[in-house]
Structure 1
């Protein structure tokens, strides 16, 4: 079937440059569904940029795979690294933009574009960051309230702790074999715990930065200086966050987390103390 492409152009938030969203549909999709998809993608980019700043790439390609039999609105998504980075998303056909906007997948995948591709041993860092940021993005843009924000974090951390019982070994090693071990919950939520701890440490010391502001700064100044996929990419990424925050919070946590064999023990009190939108 001939592939259809639609290009939408609009001004990025906090940017004077125009960005282009390129949408490629792999499979048949109705005109009505296209309108819902286009509304959803535009809203998702605008929402993410409102929280993380303008994305530093001129075009943002989306590859959309319609699926009639999916059990959820967006059953799967991934980033395809390249020149430029692109995002592949499967969607359930006949899903309204209102429902799509409430799904977390798009915010998660766009958030990945704000950091370089990290080595397999640091997947916990990349997936933890995107998972944490998706929740911050959805909170700041009123997709859900602060109660839901806390509930989602507590629930996810609980799943991570349970999955850790079935996946022994250092977080670094488990990350390298995440798919074969079915250890996604441990890997993703250990990474979320890392950024929660860093967020709390920043606010406790009165540092003006938050995770989201540091990621915005990193993407503007330093992302291209880290070679994507290099074995040192995670360490260099962490060093940049330390430099931007003028702390050693990130490197100290990183040295501990990548070797730890347990799941981080964060209390509900700590979760409730989070102020990601300071």
Structure 2
């Protein structure tokens, strides 16, 4: 184990293949020239702020598949990651939304955060979605899109939604994640996963580390396009030189209740 950790550390230091992704927006021609500029401003801002928080994405280009809508009840009603070579992001958005409205929407930050973790099996989606949900708020806080007070309020409100849904969705978390869409269990799955990373963040802080620092090291030395939840957790333990992630994973993966994260704990997040 000690030898492996030394090799892992050296690999991280030796990695020089990380570079900032360049946007490759597709579907802009459906929009007027002035609207194209707004969309490009939004996409570039979101990518810049995401990489400022989590480090550069190791892609030469990042395809963005744009689907402007004439009727939408929010600036970005739908987004998803398209896994492939390279990975990309699909966005459905209100073609009449302003830059400020698009910038203040959480969807694109969420989808970009997904790109920092590999594709996991369905049973591990609580980790994938929990990470992206927590990180969207970190990115928005760091970029001053939201204030620190709003950051705490959003996490608190989301955790409460997850807690409320757990009353009717009490299956083991990994089992529920495997059937999340059919069960309509997004609130419990997403926010249980967010609670996992909040607890991990607080534990890392006590050791002088942070989750964003760990993710930067992970992307530099150890990222693979697809893996299992257990392998990902093992790598996170090795990078943090701790048992933080495996200890939490053992508690979370089969839990049927909702984690108890207090407002006082949220205030401690840096």
- TM-score normalised per structure 1: 0.88
Deviation, 1:27, is 7.9
Q: Partners of 1:36 and 1:45 in 2: how far apart?
A: 14
Secondary structure of the 2:30 match is coil
* Number of the residue aligned with 1:234: 229
Q: Contact (CA 8 Å) 1:124, 1:175: kept in 2 or not?
A: yes
Q: Partners of 1:37 and 1:16 in 2: how far apart?
A: 26
Q: Partners of 1:129 and 1:236 in 2: how far apart?
A: 16
Deviation, 1:237, is 0.9
CA distance change for structure 1 residues 258 and 97 in 2, over 3 Å: closer, same or farther? same
Q: Contact (CA 8 Å) 2:109, 2:136: kept in 1 or not?
A: yes
* Number of the residue aligned with 2:139: 137
Q: Partners of 2:166 and 2:92 in 1: how far apart?
A: 29
Q: Contact (CA 8 Å) 1:160, 1:263: kept in 2 or not?
A: yes
* Number of the residue aligned with 2:47: 45
* Residue 94 (structure 2) aligned to one of 79, 92, 97: 92
75-84 or 97-106: bigger deviation:
97-106
Secondary structure of the 1:223 match is coil
Q: Partners of 2:215 and 2:19 in 1: how far apart?
A: 20
Q: Partners of 1:16 and 1:110 in 2: how far apart?
A: 16
Q: Contact (CA 8 Å) 1:27, 1:66: kept in 2 or not?
A: no
130-139 or 23-32: bigger deviation:
23-32
Q: Partners of 1:210 and 1:19 in 2: how far apart?
A: 23
* Number of the residue aligned with 2:242: 247
Deviation, 1:26, is 7.7
Q: Which has the higher helix share?
A: 2
Q: Which has the higher strand share?
A: 1
* Number of the residue aligned with 1:215: 215
Answering whether residue 256 of structure 2 is matched by residue 261 of structure 1, we say: yes
Q: Partners of 1:159 and 1:268 in 2: how far apart?
A: 14
Query: Which portions of structure 1, spanning 4 or more consecutive aligned residues, are displaced by more than 4 angstroms?
Result: 14-18
Secondary structure of the 1:65 match is strand
